[in-house]
Structure 1
Amino acid sequence: MNRPQREAAARRIMERTPPPVPPDLYVEAVRRGGRVLRRRRAAARLMWLLVFAAAVAFTVWALTAQPWVEPPSETTPPLMGW
């Protein structure tokens, strides 16, 4: 198929009348879109809740464990000058 034939075929396809749209298509699309939005919003809230819980857990652990403080020495230093 050469270029003029392809262009003619494309013109014929574009000149056809579009197929009829089912009357309940809009209602179905709105219903599904609302459901997708609710699920997406719930997933985002759950994600933020998990992030907040992880931040609180890390803060509590850091305050109780104090990882920035050097642990106490397990051995005594040698005694000199006795």
Structure 2
Amino acid sequence: MNQPERAAEVRRIMEGTPPHVPPELYAEAVRRGTRVLHRRTTARRLMWLLLTLAAVAFTVWAVTVQPWAQPPSDTTPPLDGW
């Protein structure tokens, strides 16, 4: 099927009457859509919670360890000129 034939077929389908949808299909689609929406919302909230906990844990670690400070020297500098 080439491009003009495909376009003509699509045009014929679009101009026709839409097929009848069973009434129970609407309720099933709404139920599934609601379930998917709740799952996405729960997953998004869980990810934000994990991100917040990771940020708090990193902040607590950084404040207690202070990785930006130099550790104290274990040796004393040599005394010259005595």
Q: 1:68 to 1:22 in 2, by over 3 A?
A: same
- Mapping for residues 1-80 of structure 1, pairs under 5 Å: 3=4, 7=8, 13-14=13-14, 16-80=16-80
Report the TM-score, using the length of structure 1 for normalisation.
Answer: 0.79
Q: 1:75 to 1:39 in 2, by over 3 A?
A: same
Runs of 4+ aligned structure 1 residues displaced above 6 Å come to: none
Deviation at 1:15, TM superposition (A): 5.2
Name stretches of at least 5 consecutive residues in structure 2 with no aligned partner: none
Report the TM-score, using the length of structure 2 for normalisation.
Answer: 0.79
> When the two structures are aligned, how many residues end up with a matched partner?
80
RMSD: 2.4
Identity %: 70
- Which deviations, in whole Å up to 9, do the C-alpha atoms of 1:33-78 show, x marking residues without a partner? 1001100000000000000000010001001100111111122100
Name stretches of at least 5 consecutive residues in structure 1 with no aligned partner: none
